[in-house]
C-alpha cells in the first residue's frame, strides 16, 4: 500500500521553510502549486516575467510568488523573492503529493542469496536482485527492475519501472533513475581484424554520485578498463547516450537525445543542449554551455557558450546555401589572387 507524502501548509509555514518576504495573510492554506491560468482556491502560483503580470487579474489562486520588484503587481497574498522560478521549484517539492510505496519485498520479486535488502526498502513485482547486491535504506525499486551482482544502490534512491543496473555498478544516495534506463551495459569497444570486428571486454564499472537524476531510456556504458563516472548532482534527461570511460563533472545538466562518445570528459556546471553530439577523447572545461544540436569535434578549454547550428529554412533556400558552401574554397582562392593583383607596390627610393 502506498504512503502519500502530501500535506497542506499555511503560507507563513512555506516562507518559514523556504525564505522570502511574505505580504498578506500568513494563515491561508496552500495545498498545491498551479499555473496562473488554472489555479483554484488553495493553490499557489508564480510569475517569472513582467509580461505575464496581467494574468494575475483573472487568477483564482490563493497566493502568488513574485520577484521583489513586483511587490505591487497584485493585492493577493504574495511571497517576494529573488528568483520566482527557483522558489517555485522549492515550493513544488515541499508540496509534492508523490506517493511512497510501503516497505517490503513483493512476493513476485527474486532476491538472490547474499543480497542485502534493508527492511525500509521497497522491491516491486518481477524484480531481480543479484547475489551480493546492496540496497541502502528507504530505496524504492520499481516493477521489473534488474540489479546485477554486487551492484550498490545508496540510501533514498529510487528506480522507475524496468531499470537495469549491471553487475558491480555503484549508485550514490538520493539518485532517481527513470523507467527503462540501462546503467552499465558494455561500451562499444571493437578492434578490426581481417575484415572482422573483435569485441574488447568491458571490465570497468559505472560509478554514479549522490543526488543524480537519470531520464527514461537513457543509457550509460561501463568502462573498458577504467570506470565511467557521473559526479554528484548531474541531471540527465531522457534518451541520452553516455559512452564508455566518459566522466561528467558535478552539477552538469544535459537535455534529451544528447550523445557523448567514449573517453570524453565534461566539466562541472556545464549545460548541454538537446541532441548535442560530443566526439570521443575530448575535454570540455567547467561552466561551458553547448547549444542544442551542436556537434563538438574538439576540446573546449575555456568557459562560455558554444553553438554550431544552422536554423531550418525552405528547401530552395537551403539548396542555395549548400551551393555557396561548396564554392567557398574557389571563392577564397579568387579573393587571394585579387588581393595580390591590387596590392600596392612599394615605391623605390
Which residues are 220's β-sheet partners?
183, 242
Q: Assess contact for 186 and 204: CB atoms under 8 A.
A: no
Cα torsion angle, 119, 122, 126, 129, sign: negative
Which residues are 104's β-sheet partners?
122
The residue from 128, 178, 244, 251 that is catalytic is: 244
Q: Assess contact for 157 and 140: CB atoms under 8 A.
A: yes
CA atoms within 13 A on the CB side of 222: 22
Q: Is 244 annotated as catalytic?
A: yes
Active site residues per annotation: 244
Amino acid at each position: 500500500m502506498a504512503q502519500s507524502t502530501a500535506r497542506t501548509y499555511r503560507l507563513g509555514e512555506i516562507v518559514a521553510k523556504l525564505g522570502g518576504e511574505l505580504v498578506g495573510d500568513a494563515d491561508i492554506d496552500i495545498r498545491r502549486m498551479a499555473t496562473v491560468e488554472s489555479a483554484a482556491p488553495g493553490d499557489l502560483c508564480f510569475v517569472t516575467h513582467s509580461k505575464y503580470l496581467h494574468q494575475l487579474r483573472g487568477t483564482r489562486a490563493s497566493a502568488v510568488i513574485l520577484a521583489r520588484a513586483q511587490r505591487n503587481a497584485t493585492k493577493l497574498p504574495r511571497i517576494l523573492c529573488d528568483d520566482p522560478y527557483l522558489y517555485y521549484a522549492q515550493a513544488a517539492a515541499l508540496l509534492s503529493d508523490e506517493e511512497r510505496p510501503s516497505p517490503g519485498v513483493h512476493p513476485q520479486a527474486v532476491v538472490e542469496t547474499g543480497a542485502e535488502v534493508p527492511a525500509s526498502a521497497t522491491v516491486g513485482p518481477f524484480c531481480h536482485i543479484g547475489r551480493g547486491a546492496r540496497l541502502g535504506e528507504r530505496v524504492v525499486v520499481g516493477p521489473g527492475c534488474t540489479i546485477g551482482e554486487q551492484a550498490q544502490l545508496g540510501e533514498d534512491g529510487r528506480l522507475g519501472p524496468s531499470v537495469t543496473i549491471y553487475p558491480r555498478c555503484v549508485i550514490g544516495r538520493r539518485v532517481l533513475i527513470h523507467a527503462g534506463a540501462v546503467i552499465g551495459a558494455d561500451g562499444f569497444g571493437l578492434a578490426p581484424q581481417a575484415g572482422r570486428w573483435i569485441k574488447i571486454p568491458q571490465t570497468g564499472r559505472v560509478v554514479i554520485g549522490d543526488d543524480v537524476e537519470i531520464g527514461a531510456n537513457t543509457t550509460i556504458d561501463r568502462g573498458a578498463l577504467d570506470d565511467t563516472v557521473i559526479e554528484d548532482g548531474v541531471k540527465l534527461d531522457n534518451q541520452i547516450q553516455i559512452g564508455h570511460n566518459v566522466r561528467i563533472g558535478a552539477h552538469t545538466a544535459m537535455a534529451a537525445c544528447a550523445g557523448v562518445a567514449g573517453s570524453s570528459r565534461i566539466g562541472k556546471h556545464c549545460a548541454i543542449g538537446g541532441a548535442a553530439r560530443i566526439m570521443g577523447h575530448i575535454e570540455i572545461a567547467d561552466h561551458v554551455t553547448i547549444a542544442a544540436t551542436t556537434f563538438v569535434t574538439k576540446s573546449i578549454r575555456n568557459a562560455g557558450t558554444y553553438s554550431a547550428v544552422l536554423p531550418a529554412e525552405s528547401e530552395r533556400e537551403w539548396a542555395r546555401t549548400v551551393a555557396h558552401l561548396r564554392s567557398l574554397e574557389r571563392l577564397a582562392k579568387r579573393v587571394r589572387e585579387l588581393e595580390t593583383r591590387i596590392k600596392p607596390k612599394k615605391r623605390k627610393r
